[in-house]
Amino acid sequence: MAQAEIGLIGLGVMGSNLALNIAEKGNKIAVFNRTVDATRKFYAEAGELQGQIVPCETIEEFVAAIRPPRPIIIMIKAGDPVDQQMELLKPYLEKNDIMIDAGNANFRDTMRRFENLKDSGLTFIGMGVSGGEEGARHGPSIMVGGTEDSWKRVEKVLTSIAAKYNEDPCVAWLGENGAGHFVKTIHNGIEYADMQMIAEIYGILRDGLKMSATEIGEVFGTWNRGRLNSYLIEITEKVLKAADPITGGPIVDLILDKAGQKGTGKWSAIEAQNMGVPATAIEAAVAARSISSMKEEREAAEKVLGLPGGELDIADKAAFVKDLESALLAAKIGAYAQGFAVMSAASKEFGWNLPMPTIARIWRAGCIIRSQFLDEITTAFTKDPDVANLIVTPAFAAMVKETDGALRRVVSAAVLAGLPVPALASALGYFDSYRRSRGTANVIQAQRDFFGAHGFDRTDGKDSHHGPWGSGLNA
């Protein structure tokens, strides 16, 4: 029997769907799962794809079933389980075999795994996969980090299973070691911001304009046919219009307002902070999820403080809803600009040479943040790959100038009505501070010099770096 082209360990939600996708595209695949029952169940339910699948119940059998050099996808719970699985696998592997961690790894773990395998003769790939269950089954967006040689060994298989945007496969080799997992992390950070901004707009429509979930679903449906066209807006319409099978009312009204998180948003914010790059929309989104999880504290606080009690001061509801659409677009531009700026800084910091146009290109389909908007980002970065910030490219500068007025009106109205819009407001604050050549940090520099003798630079270039604070220098 011909050996499998590739192997996959971990038949959970993502692994089983990815394995079926690989098999369906004509690639023979060996599979293994820690719990044997899952392997048996997976194979039994594989239907006509069984001929392409080699189910294995031991690691030894699994490794022997794959053609060397063996690419082995590990799609299991991120963190320690990946290290444990790699240790169990290693004794059976041969020179040039490739372990591919396809889970949501912290890129710093990926870097460590590369370092640990450096002299072993084994190869490692850190691969970000986005698109959830559906993407894994029918075409995810795939972000690959590792050596170019190891990429060449897996390129054909990965290209066959990736999502396609107008025939263009949404997979690419992005750079050495942690590059793929870093880009996947920032993808998720942007996703956090995108989702939070949508939730804030939903909040204005629900609590400010007192619209029902179904009515709000209609609004998102209309927006999905315009410039905001994207997977997240599309599913938001579906989510808002879905009925609860028990009560018949909108299911969204019955869902507890506590958001979960697994770490990628937080890692995005931490890495942005580590490099000194503002990613305020992502930070606001992560913080908003944390506040959401404090349900009991929020209930207690509402009893003590009450709600602010303002009303949305809107003269023309239809015009305001149009403003909400433009505001969401403006804020989204801010979030994506921040995410790309973080990647640009990381590219220099870690020596990856991340290709910004390629990243935008492979996010156009398959992944959770897929959208028409990413095609526009691809075009902007293709024209100017080294631009300091997306918002100063001609196309996006024009979009910001066209939409930031709406964002300002929406944020102002929401703030006066006491409706929380932390991510929308942070995007506005980002635009307002980034575009202002004379900021206010002169006062901070003066304060720092006053209490800590830290010194400052002068606008006139004169060689005098401390202020006339007298005896105020008390560290």
Q: Interface residues with ligand NDP (CB under 6 A)?
A: 10-15, 33-35, 38, 75-78, 81, 84-85, 103-104, 129-130, 132-133
Secondary structure in 3-state letters for the chain: CCCECEEEECCCHHHHHHHHHHHHCCCCEEEECCCHHHHHHHHHCCHHHHHHEEECCCHHHHHHCECCCCEEEECCCCCHHHHHHHHHHHHHCCCCCEEEECCCCCHHHHHHHHHHHCCCCCEEEEEEEECHHHHHHHCCEEEEECCHHHHHHHHHHHHHHCCEECCEECEEEEECCCHHHHHHHHHHHHHHHHHHHHHHHHHHHHHHCCCCHHHHHHHHHHHHCCCCCEHHHHHHHHHHHCECCCCCCEHHHHCCCCCCCCCHHHHHHHHHHHHCCCCHHHHHHHHHHHHHHCHHHHHHHHHHHCCCCCCCCCCCHHHHHHHHHHHHHHHHHHHHHHHHHHHHHHHHHHCCCCCHHHHHHHCCCCCCCCEHHHHHHHHHHHHCCCCCCHHHCHHHHHHHHHHHHHHHHHHHHHHHCCCCCHHHHHHHHHHHHHCCCCCCHHHHHHHHHHHHCCCCCCCCCCCCCCCCCHHHCCC
**Minimal distance in Å, beta carbon 439 to ligand NDP?**
39
Q: Which of 5, 28, 176, 184 is labelled catalytic?
A: 184
Q: How far is the CB of 270 from ligand NDP (least distance, A)?
A: 17
Least distance (Å) between residue 33 CB and ligand NDP: 5
Q: Which is nearer to ligand NDP, 140 or 422 (CB)?
A: 140
131 versus 278: smaller Cβ distance to ligand NDP: 131
Cβ atoms of 337 and 287 closer than 8 Å: no
Q: How far is the CB of 81 from ligand NDP (least distance, A)?
A: 3
- To ligand NDP, the closest distance from the beta carbon of 86 in angstroms equals 10
Give the residue nearest to ligand NDP (CB). 12
For ligand NDP, which is the closer residue by CB, 90 or 408? 90
For residue 358, the minimal CB distance to ligand NDP (Å) is: 20
Q: Is 296 a catalytic residue?
A: no
Nearer Cβ to ligand NDP (27/104):
104
Which one, 63 or 414, has the nearer CB to ligand NDP?
A: 63
Q: Of 81 and 203, which CB lies nearer to ligand NDP in the complex structure?
A: 81
Which CB atom, from 32 or from 430, has the smaller least distance to ligand NDP?
32
- Identity of the residue, 114 or 223, whose beta carbon is nearer to ligand NDP in the bound complex: 114
77 dihedral zone (left: phi>0; alpha: psi -120 to 50; beta) = beta
CB 333 within 8 A of CB 390: yes
Least CB distance to ligand NDP at residue 395 (A): 30
Give the separation between CA 165 and CA 170, rounded to whole angstroms: 7
Catalytic pick from 5, 176, 191, 271? 191
Name the minimum Å distance from CB 23 to ligand NDP. 17
Tokens 């691809």 belong to 378
For residue 184, indicate whether it is catalytic.
yes
- Going by C-beta distance under 8 Å and a sequence separation of 6 or more, which residues neighbour residue 54? 4, 28, 29, 30, 31, 65
Strand 141-145, strand 71-74: pairing: unpaired
User: To the nearest whole angstrom, how small is the minimum distance from the Cβ of residue 12 to ligand NDP?
Assistant: 2
Q: Which is nearer to ligand NDP, 130 or 326 (CB)?
A: 130
Which sequence positions are flagged as catalytic?
184, 191
